Amino acid sequence: MPSEKQNVWWVNGVAGGLASAGAKTALCPLQRLTVLRQLGGNQDKSIVDLIRQVAKEDKNGIKGFWRGNGVSVLQRIPYAGIQLAIYDSIKFEIVNKAEQTGYVSSEVARGSGPAAQSFQASVKAVSGCVAASISGAACYPLEVMRTRLMSGDERYRRFIPTAKAIWNETGSPKNFYRGLSASLVQRIPDIAINYVVYESVKFNLMENYGCSLPVALMSGSAAAAIIAV
């Protein structure tokens, strides 16, 4: 793959985990409003109404906009870390094996022509699907916790009591995985498309404009916009 170097697996894991945690913290107020908007009784309220509701009703004042952020960060660090570490490892393993076994030529495996782009997009999609499945399943219980803590329900204000409440609903870990299948159905193609678009746009921009922060931002924005459509 052009202009790519394989890092030690934990480098991608640490970098991805910390980056994701920082982004989640910065955008936590928007995530809190999204969760409230999705819950019963809040669908007809405007964003301004929800902002006033959080500021007025939450005992923590402005800190209420970051309610549940602790568990959100706790979830995002391993989720993004595992995902990026697995994605990068699988991607290079597939390319190396395909090249070594003669399935594709070096030109296709690491070149930039039409055939190379098609092969590399397929590799990124497969790698993204596997990485999203493993990281999503491993960290889903924390996602359930995060949603409960952000719900505004007085029963779910602290980490341990919330975990106990979820467990006590069935007396088993079943509720920590409720909705996992639906989540993976949405998450797997989402992540696969994200990686394909992000890396394809990134390398095309790098070939024309070099490596820079604007290139990374434009690549990420393009991937996010396509996924949102």
The pLDDT of residue 152 is 73
Contact 54, 64 (CB under 8 A): yes
Pair of tokens at residue 38? 């999705």
The pLDDT of residue 184 is 92
The pLDDT of residue 12 is 74
DSSP secondary structure of 4-71: --PPPHHHHHHHHHHHHHHHHHHHHHHHHHHHHHHSTT-TT--HHHHHHHHHHH-TTGGGGGGTTHHH
Closest of 121, 129, 24, 118 to residue 76, by C-alpha? 24
Full pLDDT tens readout for the chain, 229 residues: 554 666 666 777 788 788 888 888 888 888 888 888 877 567 778 888 888 888 877 666 778 888 878 888 888 889 988 998 899 899 999 999 998 998 888 888 877 778 888 898 899 999 999 999 999 999 999 999 988 888 777 788 888 999 999 999 989 999 999 999 999 998 898 888 888 888 777 777 767 766 655 655 555 554 444 434 3
Contact 191, 83 (CB under 8 A): yes
The pLDDT of residue 226 is 44
Angle at the Cα of 228 from the Cα atoms of 222 and 229, rounded to 5 degrees = 95
The pLDDT of residue 229 is 39
